[in-house]
């Protein structure tokens, strides 16, 4: 499954192409105790449209913490919270 998610960031639309493996790699990196900022940066950089990668890297350099916000928005859209209850 591949899903394209468009985020409007600082008046620019960025397209990100996510797969199940991209999502799993991001979650696994954090679960292993890796850096949240590092994992978020890699997640955003790996999934942004190749034509927009340079613009995204510039944005990330100029906006500390933006990678965490971007990754959070991508994760929330790609893997929405489900309403799950246990029946007894």
Count of domains forming the chain: 1
Three-state DSSP class for residue 23: helix
Q: pLDDT by residue (tens digit) across 1-34?
A: 899 999 999 999 999 999 999 999 999 999 999 8
Structural domain includes residue 18: yes
Structural domain includes residue 85: no
Structural domain includes residue 83: no
Structural domain includes residue 14: yes
Residue span of the structural domain in which 35 resides: 2-78
Please identify which residue in the block is written with the tokens 């409007």: 8
**pTM over cut 0.85:** yes
Structural domain includes residue 84: no
Structural domain includes residue 44: yes
End-to-end CA distance of the chain, in Å?
34
Q: pLDDT by residue (tens digit) across 35-70?
A: 999 999 999 999 999 999 999 999 999 999 999 999
Structural domain includes residue 24: yes
Q: Where do runs of H (alpha helix) occur along the chain?
A: 20-31, 36-47, 53-62, 66-78
């Amino acid at each position: 499954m591949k899903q394209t998610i468009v985020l409007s960031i600082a008046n620019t639309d960025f397209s990100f192409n996510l797969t199940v493996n991209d999502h799993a790699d991001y979650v696994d990196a954090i679960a292993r105790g890796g850096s949240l900022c590092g994992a978020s940066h890699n997640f955003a950089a790996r999934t942004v449209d190749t034509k927009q990668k340079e613009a995204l890297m510039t944005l990330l350099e100029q906006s500390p913490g933006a990678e965490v916000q971007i990754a959070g928005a991508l994760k929330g859209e790609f893997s929405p919270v489900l309403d799950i209850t246990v029946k007894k």
